[in-house]
Homo-oligomer: A and B are copies of this chain.
């Protein structure tokens, strides 16, 4: 089966890169939110999120940075916390047929929201 011909002929290469990157953003957030984490485990978690999400179609690179300062400040009596959206900075680079999209997620205090957006598109 030619997947691209059958399912993706109605969007451009640029749109395909955006589409696949955005799926991975939404997937990453909702898969890992809630994971127990502290300073001891954070590096291992960042690495395995990266490795898992880079498996998805058209994904070149995923970078996850979890805010160590927030981790420390919000930790419970039991010395860890559930991963939440305000702690994460994510970059996803996706590409399709020569078009490359750079997507970001960062927590915007003013919006009280972990905003996902397209930082730029390289042609």
Contact = CB atoms under 8 A, between A and B. Distances in A.
A27 to B, nearest CB: 4
A35 B24 CA distance: 11
Given A22-B19, A82-B33, A84-B82, A111 B55 contact: no
Contacts of A52: 35-37, 41, 44-45
A33 to B, nearest CB: 4
A84 to B, nearest CB: 6
19 contacts: A8-B118, A10-B118, A14-B15, A19-B22, A24-B26, A26-B27, A27-B27, A27-B29, A27-B36, A31-B34, A33-B33, A36-B52, A38-B55, A41-B55, A44-B52, A45-B48, A48-B48, A55-B80, A82-B85
A3 B10 CA distance: 28
Contacts of A84: 82, 84
Residue of A19, A25, A53, A54 with most chain B CB atoms under a 10 A cut-off: A19
Interface string A110-123: 11110111111100
A77 B111 contact: yes
Contact of A22 (B23, B40, B49, B76): B23
A34 B87 CA distance: 13
